[in-house]
Structure 1
Amino acid sequence: MSKTTIVLGAGMVGTCTALHLQQRGHAVVLVDRRDPGEETSYGNAGIIQCEAVEPYPFPRALGKLLRAAFKRGGDVNYHYSALPALAGPLARYWHNSAPARYPAIAQAYGRLSDHAIAEHAPLIEAAGANDLVQRNGYRWVFRDPATLETALQTAERVAPEHGLRHAALTPDELARAEPALRQRLAGAIDWLDPWSVNDPGELVGRYAALFLRRGGRIARGDARSLRQGTTGWSVRSEEGVLEAEHAVVALGPWSDTLLHPLGYRVPLFVKRGYHRHYTGAVGPMRALLDMDRGLVIAPMKRGVRITTGAEFAHRDASSTPWQLTRAEAAARELIDLPTPVEAQPWRGARPCLPDMKPVIGPAPKHRGLWFNFGHAHQGFTMGPISGRVLAEMVDGDTPRVDPRPYSPARFG
Structure 2
Amino acid sequence: MITFGEAERFLGSESRVALVKADVLVLGAGIVGVSAALHLQKRGRDVILVDRHEGAGEETSYGNAGLIECASVFPYVFPYDLRQILRYALNRSAEAHYRFRDLPAFLPWLVRYFLASSPERAFRSAMAALPLIRRSLVEHEALIAEAGVPQLLRRTGWIKLFRSNATLDKGLADLERIRRYGVEADVLDDKAIAVREPNLSGTFAGAIHWPAPGFIPDPGALTKAYAALFVRRGGRFIAADARTLMQSEASWRVDGPNGALSGREAVIALGPWSDDVFRRLGYNMPLGIKRGYHLHLAPRGNAVLNHPVLDSDRGYLLAPMNRGIRLTTGAEFARRDAPPSPVQIERTLPMARELFPLGGAIDATPWMGRRPCMPDMLPVIGKAARHAGLWFDFGHQHHGLTLGPVTGRLLAEMMTGEEPLADPRPFAAERFG
Q: What is the match of residue 205 of structure 1?
A: 224
* 1:27 matches 2:43: no
Q: In the aligned structure 2, how far is the partner of 1:5 from the partner of 1:401?
A: 23
Runs of 5+ consecutive residues of structure 1 not aligned to the other structure: none
Q: In the aligned structure 2, how far is the partner of 1:212 from the partner of 1:349?
A: 27
Q: In the aligned structure 2, how far is the partner of 1:330 from the partner of 1:315?
A: 28
Q: What is the match of residue 346 of structure 2?
A: 325
The CA deviation at 1:75 is 0.8
Bigger shift: 182-191 or 204-213?
182-191
Q: What is the match of residue 7 of structure 1?
A: 26
- Do the aligned partners of 1:175 and 1:184 also contact (CA within 8 Å) in 2? no
Structure (1 or 2) with the larger CA radius of gyration? 2
Bigger shift: 232-241 or 29-38?
232-241
TM-score by length of 1: 0.97
Q: In the aligned structure 1, how far is the partner of 2:95 from the partner of 2:353?
A: 16
Q: What is the match of residue 159 of structure 2?
A: 139
The CA deviation at 1:277 is 0.3
Runs of 5+ consecutive residues of structure 2 not aligned to the other structure: 1-20
| 1:378 aligned residue (363, 381, 399) | 399
| 2:422 aligned residue (401, 404, 408) | 401
Aligned length, in residue pairs: 410
Q: What is the match of residue 219 of structure 1?
A: 238
Deviations 1:340-367 (A, max 9, x none): 0111100000001111110000011111
Q: What is the match of residue 68 of structure 2?
A: 48
Q: What is the match of residue 139 of structure 2?
A: 119
| 1:307 aligned residue (321, 328, 342) | 328
Q: In the aligned structure 2, how far is the partner of 1:37 from the partner of 1:283?
A: 27
The CA deviation at 1:236 is 1.1
Q: In the aligned structure 2, how far is the partner of 1:239 from the partner of 1:342?
A: 36
Q: What is the match of residue 292 of structure 2?
A: 273
Q: In the aligned structure 1, how far is the partner of 2:299 from the partner of 2:33?
A: 35
* 1:189 matches 2:208: yes
Name the aligned partner's letter for residue 333 of structure 1.
Answer: E
Give the 3-state SS of the residue equivalent to 2:370 in structure 1.
strand
Deviations 1:28-63 (A, max 9, x none): 000001110110000001111111221111111110
Q: What is the match of residue 9 of structure 2?
A: none
* 1:105 matches 2:112: no
Q: What is the match of residue 263 of structure 2?
A: 244
Deviations 1:152-192 (A, max 9, x none): 1111221331x322110011110121111022322111111
Give the 3-state SS of the residue equivalent to 2:378 in structure 1.
coil
Deviations 1:242-275 (A, max 9, x none): 1011100000000011111110111111000000
Give the 3-state SS of the residue equivalent to 2:119 in structure 1.
coil
Name the aligned partner's letter for residue 74 of structure 1.
Answer: A
Give the 3-state SS of the residue equivalent to 1:182 in structure 2.
coil
Give the 3-state SS of the residue equivalent to 1:248 in structure 2.
strand
Name the aligned partner's letter for residue 196 of structure 1.
Answer: F
Question: What stretches of structure 1 move > 3 A for 4+ residues in a row?
Answer: none
TM-score by length of 2: 0.93
Q: What is the match of residue 368 of structure 1?
A: 389
* 1:336 matches 2:342: no
| 1:164 aligned residue (183, 186, 189) | 183
Bigger shift: 119-128 or 106-115?
106-115
- Do the aligned partners of 2:299 and 2:325 also contact (CA within 8 Å) in 1? no
Name the aligned partner's letter for residue 202 of structure 2.
Answer: Q
- Do the aligned partners of 1:269 and 1:351 also contact (CA within 8 Å) in 2? yes
The CA deviation at 1:3 is 7.2
* 1:67 matches 2:119: no
Q: Percent identity?
A: 48
Q: In the aligned structure 1, how far is the partner of 2:184 from the partner of 2:77?
A: 23
- Do the aligned partners of 2:75 and 2:122 also contact (CA within 8 Å) in 1? no
* 1:16 matches 2:32: no
Q: In the aligned structure 2, how far is the partner of 1:397 from the partner of 1:3?
A: 21
| 2:77 aligned residue (32, 53, 57) | 57
- Do the aligned partners of 2:22 and 2:48 also contact (CA within 8 Å) in 1? no
- Do the aligned partners of 1:50 and 1:114 also contact (CA within 8 Å) in 2? yes
Deviations 1:16-38 (A, max 9, x none): 00000000000000000111011
